[in-house]
Amino acid sequence: MNEEKRPESSPDWWIYQGTGRPLDDISLADLLPPAPPWRAFTGGPLSEEEVVPPDEGEADRRLGSEHRLTARHVDPHEIDMVNAALYLRRPLLVTGRPGSGKSSLAYRVARELRLGRVLRWPITSHTTLKAGLYSYDAIGRAQAAGARAVTDRREGDQEPPIGEYLRLGELGTVFLPRRQPRVLLIDELDKSEADLPNDLLSLFEDGEFAIPELVRMRSRSREVEVFTADPDATATVADGRVRCAAFPFVVITSNGDRDFPPAFLRRCLRLEIQDPDIEQLSAMVAAHALDPSDTHRSRIIEEFVSRSEAYGGLPVDKLLEAVYLATSGAYHEEGDSWPRLMDALWRQLNSVVP
């Protein structure tokens, strides 16, 4: 990133600043203006006491526990697009080289805006929309009903509550009605089957989805308590539909291995992540409590940048691994051992081992 591209001060409209420092004594819901009329959602029921699920240290593992990023380290275009996605209630499609930090963006936003645990939906070639929305263990429920019928001879319905056998997936959980948006990371969408991006269109437009198993029984049970993708958490689903109140902040990552349908692209904002420069890498190293200030660590960072340029890009975590080995006391540089180890750690990702 060029020095002249960094703003001297943050624009007034930025809520997210990109530094990773959490908001103090104020919530995102209080800072965001109302949604555009065509992106306003009115789902419910809303809980009287909205609990933000904790991230259980996941952000610290990915980003580091030290807040070392400043305005000098952020890409203003990246911050523009994140804030635009928040204001417009649109998903953010993030592309870039593997290992450039695309998925980390979701965790930086969640930590800085105090939005709690990131719901990560990893994509494979077998991933379906329904699997991301919910799962229903019909066989388990039938077996439980049969067992209950044998042991309980009383008249009446022997079926156990359906909510005990229905669990919302990461995609379904993030659309539960809340006053503040949750953060969803759809990781590596380019690995999916061709139809999945199109399958997401209605969900992104409508902000809701139906669960047929609950719709069929809504005359008997209008509200059903189901499990969610958060650990040990449940939520109430009314009339068999999950309807968001605050559209989630959705980060969709892609390594650029395929093109997406134009209709899908129209519904997303797009951001290309650039490789971090030496100053940004130093801040990332410092964030993980690996002091980059002395000449030894600086030399490792410079060598990493040089090799990354020569190889067409290296994952940032390979730099963290090298600095840790060099500074933790677990390894000592002796003779030609260190260059050999770096060759192994920083081998080009698409190279063939002889």
| pLDDT tens-digit series, residues 74-86 | 889 999 999 999 9
Q: Could you read off the pLDDT of 288-346 as tens digits, one per residue?
A: 767 656 667 788 888 888 888 877 778 888 888 888 887 776 666 666 777 787 788 78
Answer yes or no: is 32 within a domain: yes
At which of 213, 239, 272 does a domain end? 272
At which of 272, 287, 317 does a domain end? 272
Under a CB-based contact definition with an 8 Å cutoff, are residues 254 and 93 in contact? yes
Bond into 45 cis (ω within 30): yes
Same domain, 74 and 106: yes
Answer yes or no: is 141 within a domain: no
Answer yes or no: is 137 within a domain: no
Same domain, 201 and 297: no
Domains contained in the chain, number = 2
Answer yes or no: is 155 within a domain: no
Cα–Cα distance measured from residue 264 to residue 140, given in angstroms and rounded to the nearest whole number: 37
Q: Could you read off the pLDDT of 10-34 as tens digits, one per residue?
A: 789 999 998 878 888 888 989 999 9
Q: What is the pLDDT of residue 107?
A: 94
Cα–Cα distance measured from residue 85 to residue 344, given in angstroms and rounded to the nearest whole number: 40
The pLDDT of residue 351 is above 60: no
In sequence order, the 6+-apart residues with CB closer than 8 A to the CB of 260 are 93, 189, 190, 197, 254
Per-residue confidence band for 352, with pLDDT thresholds at 50, 70 and 90: very low
User: Chain-wide mean pLDDT for the chain?
Assistant: 86
The pLDDT of residue 2 is above 60: no
Answer yes or no: is 354 within a domain: no
Among 46-60, 96-110, 184-198, the range of highest mean pLDDT: 184-198
241: CATH: 3.40.50.300
Q: Which residue segment(s) compose the domain that 304 sits in?
A: 278-345
